[in-house]
Amino acid sequence: MNSVVRNILFKVTILAVSVSVPVLSVCADPQMYNVKVHLHNDGPAAARVRILAADSQEYAPEGSAVRKTKAGESYFYADGAFVVSLPSGSARVVVSGGLEFIPQTIDLDVTGDREVTVQQQPWIDMASRGWYSGDSHVHLHTGGRINVTIGDALVAARAEGVNYVNLCASNNIGDDIRDADLITGKPHPSSSGRHLLVFGEEMRSSIYGHMQFLGISKLVEPQYTGFDSTPHSHDFPANFFMAEQAIQQGGVVTYAHPMFKGQPWPFTDELTAGTGAARELPIDAILNMTQAVDVMSYNSDEEQSAELWYRLLNCGLKLSACVGTDALLDQSTDPLGGSRVYVKVDGPLTMKNWLEGLTAGQTFVTNGPMLQLEVEGAQPGATVSADTDKVHVMADVESHVPFDHVEVVVNGEVLFATSVPENSEETLMHRHRFEIDVPIEQSSWVALRVRGPSHPLVFDGPVWAHTSPVNILVDKQPIRSADDANFFVEWIDQLLRVVAARNRFVSEVDRQQVESRFLEAREAFLLRAQPQ
C-alpha cells in the first residue's frame, strides 16, 4: 500500500468558540448553534462540503451557493473556513477535495457553539509525477439562478483539484454569447500557479456536433449554427470552418459528448432532427481539424464514445483522449472535474505546456482510477517501431474507489484482461500492477482500460478510465482498418443525406462548400480502405 495512504491520520479538533455573527440556516430552530469549520491542506484549503443535521435536513452557510448532484445530495464550496448554524443534536460534515483526496466525514454532537479543524489528506499526488488534470467543458454563465464569479470558479477548481479549467463561452438562442470578452488566449489573471482558468468556447451545431476550443485568443464565429428561430438557423458554416479558425489562433479542438446513451449509430430515420452527437468528428479528424475527443462526459456514454474513438484510431488517426464534464457553475449539476483528463506535462504547468501534452496524446481519462501504461518503455502519445511479433506492456492502476477489470486494448479489441479481487471496504487504496507480452501481427495501437462498479464517490459512474494509445509501427507500415474506414464512408454518406434533407443554406455556393469538404473526407477514408 502507498506509504502516503498508510500514514494517513485523520485529525479533527473541536473547541468551544463564541461566534458573534450567527449564520442563518434554511430551517428555523430555537436551539441553533454556530459551528466554524477550518479547512487545511498545508495551509488554508478549499473543499466541497455537505452537511446533514439532526433534523435530517441539509445545511449550508448563509449566502453560499448550494447545488445538488444528480443523486440529490446538496453541496457547497468553501475556502479556508466557514460558519454554519445547526440545530442541536448529531450532525455530519462531509469534506471532499476531488479525485486525489480521501473524503472525510466528521460526526458532531452539537450541544453548543463549536470550532472544527479538518486536515485534508491526499491519497495520491499526480502533479508530483508530472500529470496535471483538466476539464475541457465547463460553463461559468448559462443564465442559471446561481450568481457566480470568476473567483467562484477558482474556488471550485481548487476544491476539486483540477489544474486546467476551460471555461466555455457559449449560447445557442441569440446574440447573447456569454463570457466571450474574457477569451484572451491566456489564463485569467485570477488563476493560481496550480489552477489555470482559461476562457475558451463551446461551438454548437444542431446537426454536426459540439466542439470545445481551448487556448484560443478570441471568440470563433459563428458560435452556433442550425438552431431554429435564431440568428444562425442555417447549417452553414459546417464545423470544420470554425475548427480551422481555432487552430489558426493556436487553439486546440476537441469534440464534446460524442455518443449519447443508447445511440450506437447517431442517425435516425428522421433526417432533419437535431442532435448533439459528434457527427462531423470523423470528417474533421481525417482532415486534421481536431486533435482530441471527449471520450468521457456527464452527458455521454463512455463505452459507445470509446467504440467510435477506436474506429478512428484504427484508421490511423491521432486523437487524444480528453474529458469535458459539461458542468454548469451557475446551476445545480454534478461538480466540475468529477471526470477528468490527466495530461503529462513537460516542464512546469503552463497553458502552453498543458495544451502541448494534450495534443501529443500524453493523456488518460478517469472518474477515479489513476493509470500508468508503458509499451516497450513508451508512454501514451508515443510512436515506437517493433521488430518482433510482440511488445512488452507494463500497467499500473491505483485507485481510491474499487475497480474490477483491467484490460489491454489493441486496435479496439481486448487482448488481455484481468479480474481484480475485491478488497476490504476499509482499504484506502486499491492497486493492481502487471507486466505482459502482447502479440502484435501488424501496426497497431495499444491502450489501457479500467472498469469497475458504481460507487458513491463517482459522479459519472460506473468506474471507468482509459489511456490514450501508444502507436506501434511494424515494418514502418501505417495503422489501417478497411472495415472501419468503410464504416466512416457510410457515416459521411448519411450526414450528406441529413444536409440535403434539411436544406438550410442561403445559397448553393454555401451548400457546395460544405458538401465538397465532406466528400474530400469521404475520399480520404476510401483511400484508407484500400489494401496496403
Written in H, E and C, the secondary structure of 218-284 is CCCCCCEECCCCCCCCCCCCCHHHHHHHHHHCCCEEEECCCCCCCCCCCCCCCCCCCCCCCCCHHHH
Nearest to 196 by CA among 158, 169, 165: 165
Q: Can you tell me the mean pLDDT for 466-494?
A: 97
Cβ contacts of 23 within 8 Å, gap of 6 or more: 34, 61, 62, 83, 84, 85
Question: In this structure, are 226 and 279 located in the same domain?
Answer: yes
**Cα four-point dihedral sign 83, 87, 91, 92:** negative
Give the range of the structural domain holding residue 43, as residue numbers without chain letter.
3-119
Local structure of residue 125 (DSSP, 8 states): -
Is the pLDDT confidence value at 4 over 80? no
Residue 448 falls inside a structural domain: no
Identify the domain boundary among 89, 119, 149. 119
Instruction: Provide the domain count of the chain.
Output: 2
Cα distance between residue 392 and residue 505, in whole Å:
53
Find out whether the peptide bond into 237 is cis, omega within 30 degrees of 0: yes
Cα distance between residue 131 and residue 147, in whole Å:
32
Cα distance between residue 345 and residue 526, in whole Å:
36
Indicate the helix (H) or strand (E) that contains 482. helix 482-502
Question: In this structure, are 291 and 211 located in the same domain?
Answer: yes
Residue 455 falls inside a structural domain: no
Is the pLDDT confidence value at 81 over 80? yes
Residue 426 falls inside a structural domain: no
Nearest to 287 by CA among 453, 517, 514, 478: 517
Q: How far is CA 8 from CA 4, 161, 378, 427, 433, in A?
A: 6, 19, 33, 12, 23
- pTM to 2 decimals? 0.93
- Place 17 in a pLDDT band, splitting at 50, 70 and 90: very low
Question: In this structure, are 70 and 168 located in the same domain?
Answer: no
Is the pLDDT confidence value at 356 over 80? yes
Residue 106 falls inside a structural domain: yes
Local structure of residue 142 (DSSP, 8 states): S
Beta bridge partners of 435: 394
Question: In this structure, are 163 and 98 located in the same domain?
Answer: no
CATH classification of the domain holding 16? 2.60.40.10
Residue 247 falls inside a structural domain: yes
Nearest to 459 by CA among 254, 257, 297: 297
Cα distance between residue 525 and residue 423, in whole Å:
46
Question: In this structure, are 165 and 131 located in the same domain?
Answer: yes
Question: In this structure, are 212 and 240 located in the same domain?
Answer: yes
Supply the pLDDT for residue 202.
98
Supply the pLDDT for residue 426.
58
Supply the pLDDT for residue 424.
54
Question: In this structure, are 79 and 185 located in the same domain?
Answer: no
Can you give the length of the chain in residues? Answer: 532
Cα distance between residue 104 and residue 122, in whole Å:
11
Question: In this structure, are 214 and 131 located in the same domain?
Answer: yes
Q: What is the pLDDT of residues 110-142, one digit of tens each?
A: 999 999 999 999 999 999 999 999 999 999 999
Cα distance between residue 279 and residue 202, in whole Å:
16
Cell 478517469, residue located: 366
Residue 334 falls inside a structural domain: no
- Asked if residues 259 and 304 have their Cβ atoms less than 8 Å apart, the reply is yes
Using DSSP's 3-state secondary structure scheme, residue 477 falls into: coil
Q: How large a percentage of the chain has pLDDT more than 70?
A: 93
Beta strands in 182-231 (DSSP E): 196-205, 209-214, 224-225
Q: Can you tell me the mean pLDDT for 131-158?
A: 97
Supply the pLDDT for residue 8.
32
Question: In this structure, are 168 and 270 located in the same domain?
Answer: yes
Q: What is the pLDDT of residues 224-269, one digit of tens each?
A: 999 999 999 999 999 999 999 999 999 999 999 999 988 888 999 9
Question: In this structure, are 114 and 166 located in the same domain?
Answer: no
Identify the domain boundary among 90, 119, 148. 119
Q: How large a percentage of the chain has pLDDT more than 90?
A: 88
Question: In this structure, are 104 and 190 located in the same domain?
Answer: no
**Cα four-point dihedral sign 123, 126, 127, 129:** positive
Cβ contacts of 227 within 8 Å, gap of 6 or more: 172, 173, 204, 206, 233, 274
Supply the pLDDT for residue 423.
66
Question: In this structure, are 131 and 244 located in the same domain?
Answer: yes
Residue 289 falls inside a structural domain: yes
Residue 284 falls inside a structural domain: yes
